Copies of this chain bind each other. A is one copy, B any other.
């Protein structure tokens, strides 16, 4: 698809090319901080929005209509559509996030029911995502690339076992230690579904894919390395084998002790750097592109401070010397002001703003 895309800046950076400008997009750029999203949300529940291609397309386009600086769209969806397509009932509860009616307890039955069926399950139950992607690519009309995404197998496993978010993911961490065989089977299953889902999104028109490992940092370095990272590598390798030309971004939150390994061995083209890293004090290999990492909380500060912090980030990123995609170091939050995001985006696209 990429030959039809006029602004392919982000794709060129993701392939490691030097570019004339720094591309920018923002995690959760579509969603609750936008009044135009809340107006739609008032009429439909969250998953209805995801599952209705015309609505998901409209929401995906909302930030692009507001912010001319954006160099990519990201399809409006949720990482939990994978557990959903395996039969889990999930509700979004205000102030609590996703809550499963029944957490995962019987891994063998789940594996027996869904193993080897990723092609048929994804193509039937998640066809709405492909439809939404096709509509959005049409609507974008070559303006910029569309990003597809999945949650990492560990992050999905943790949500499924806990039955929602958690401060410590103690239940999931305990299970992976005490039931390693079952845990591995679950990770294998999720890896197959994640790979198939990414491939389906690319087939529908997504030209960049991101894997969100939001809870990677909840694992000790040893457990991350032994129990989660092999599946991340397998996921990326499977997608790369099927689609060698589609760049992949891997975003692992707060896995500091594993960052070097993630950069060197994951196989991803771009590594997401979250806000907890100090760009002045980070050692990265030279063969990757990176994405990040403005502290989202900076968007609660004054306009002058947003400009200053964004300019500082540009200076530090340029000092690192790697191809980079500007982004926040985590997603937009519901109570953020779109005007503040605009300051970030405008500053990113200004020339000569170096400190």
Determine the residue in chain B with the shortest Cβ distance to A169: B297
Does chain B have a CB within 8 A of A134?
A: no
Determine the residue in chain B with the shortest Cβ distance to A333: B170
Interface flags, A207-243, vs B, CB<8A=1, else 0: 0000000000100111100000000000000000000
Q: In the complex, are the beta carbons of B257 and A301 less than 8 A apart? A: no
Interface residues of A toward B: which range? 20 to 34
Tell whether A277 pairs with B297 under 8 Å between CB atoms, given A165-B167, A167-B165, A333-B170. Answer: no
- Give the Cβ gap from A330 to chain B, nearest Cβ, in Å: 9
Determine the residue in chain B with the shortest Cβ distance to A165: B167
- A301 contact from B177, B297, B298, B335, Cβ within 8 A: B177
Q: With the chains together, A276 CA to B297 CA distance in Å?
A: 24
Does chain B have a CB within 8 A of A254?
A: yes
Does chain B have a CB within 8 A of A3?
A: no
Q: In the complex, are the beta carbons of B275 and A220 less than 8 A apart? A: yes
Q: With the chains together, A258 CA to B276 CA distance in Å?
A: 9
Determine the residue in chain B with the shortest Cβ distance to A220: B295
- Measured between beta carbons, the chain B residues less than 8 angstroms from A329 are 220
- Measured between beta carbons, the chain B residues less than 8 angstroms from A297 are 170, 173-174, 177, 220, 223
Q: In the complex, are the beta carbons of A254 and B254 less than 8 A apart? A: yes
Q: With the chains together, A221 CA to B276 CA distance in Å?
A: 6
Chain A to chain B contacts (Cβ below 8 Å), 13 pairs: A167-B167, A173-B297, A217-B276, A220-B275, A220-B295, A220-B329, A221-B281, A222-B278, A223-B295, A256-B256, A257-B276, A257-B277, A257-B281
Given contacts A174-B335, A177-B301, A257-B276, 12 further A-B contacts (CB under 8 A): A173-B297, A174-B297, A177-B297, A220-B275, A221-B278, A221-B281, A222-B278, A222-B295, A254-B256, A257-B281, A258-B278, A260-B281
